[in-house]
Structure 1
Amino acid sequence: MTQLKDISSLHWQTALGGDGIVENIDDIHQAIAIILRTPQGADPLRPEFGSKLREYIDYPINRARPHVVRESVEAIARWEPRVSVERVSFELGEPGQAMIKVFWRLPDGFTDQTAVSL
């Protein structure tokens, strides 16, 4: 179990699906995934938290893509102020799987991408 004295970053959270914590860039990746995978209204203490991506689950891909991109950008801009979204791509993977790739930038110029499967 991680002790508070072992945490070296200002930005951290408990790791999903395991013991320990995530810090720094891993914290941002996990935060973006949580935002996009959480349906808006699912958190009773923060009913506005999350995204509206589930509304477009049965849309044809060509009609869903612009909505998914818009909703992803808006949700991340609202709930993850440490990053600015530069681009979002939305692709189909295996049957029943969709992948959102969020390309983002930190204020210091560092860029990275987070892939979230839905």
Structure 2
Amino acid sequence: MKTLNTITSAHWQPELGHPGSVVEGLSDIGQAIQVILLTPKGSDPHRPDFGTNNHHYLDWPTNIITPYLVRESIEAIQRWETRITVIQVNIDIEGSTVAVRVVWKVADGVPTESKVEYERTGTT
């Protein structure tokens, strides 16, 4: 477990759900993607355009929501996480869970994948 005393990277942030722990390097980027995709656009008063509108589409019929989630996710990540290039975004829907899988790479890096899950309140 990384802590404030053991940071070795220029890029780091507190680890979500683990007080006193930090993420750095590629894990920092993966967590940044999660923060971007899970933040409803307009909920950050200092950055009203930060985040996505993905939450608006979660309860839409399964066969319709994919292009909306892909578009919102790509636009938000490209705007707010400039350290990476998005290669592909895939949507997996199983029951009440919608997973957004983002394949990305750091400049001149190896492709990496981040997964963000949403829970749907009503499934159609």
Q: Secondary structure at the match of 2:113?
A: strand
Task: Tell me how far apart the structure 2 counterparts of residues 58 and 16 of structure 1 sit (CA, whole Å).
Answer: 26
Amino acid of the structure 2 residue aligned with 1:68: L
Task: Tell me how far apart the structure 1 counterparts of residues 68 and 83 of structure 2 sit (CA, whole Å).
Answer: 23
TM value normalised by structure 2: 0.88
**Pairing 1:5-84 to 2, within 5 Å after superposition:** 5-19=5-19, 20-84=21-85
Structure 2 residue ranges without an equivalent (≥5)? 119-124
Task: Tell me how far apart the structure 2 counterparts of residues 28 and 62 of structure 1 sit (CA, whole Å).
Answer: 30
Measure how far apart 1:2 and its partner are.
2.8
Task: Tell me how far apart the structure 1 counterparts of residues 59 and 52 of structure 2 sit (CA, whole Å).
Answer: 16
Q: Secondary structure at the match of 1:92?
A: strand
Amino acid of the structure 2 residue aligned with 1:52: N
Task: Tell me how far apart the structure 1 counterparts of residues 28 and 22 of structure 2 sit (CA, whole Å).
Answer: 8
What are the superposed Cα offsets for residues 57-89 of structure 1, whole Å, 9 maximum, x if unpaired?
A: 221122110010011000000000011111000
Identity of aligned residues (%): 42
Partner of 2:121: none
Structure 1, 56-65 or 9-18: larger mean CA deviation = 56-65
- How many residue pairs end up in the alignment? 116
What is the root-mean-square deviation of aligned Cα atoms in Å? 1.4
Measure how far apart 1:91 and its partner are.
1.1
1:2 aligns with 2:13: no
Amino acid of the structure 1 residue aligned with 2:58: I
Amino acid of the structure 2 residue aligned with 1:9: S
- Structure 1 stretches of 4+ with a deviation exceeding 2 A read none
Amino acid of the structure 2 residue aligned with 1:23: E
Partner of 2:86: 85
Amino acid of the structure 2 residue aligned with 1:46: R
Task: Tell me how far apart the structure 2 counterparts of residues 51 and 43 of structure 1 sit (CA, whole Å).
Answer: 11
Structure 1 residue ranges without an equivalent (≥5)? none
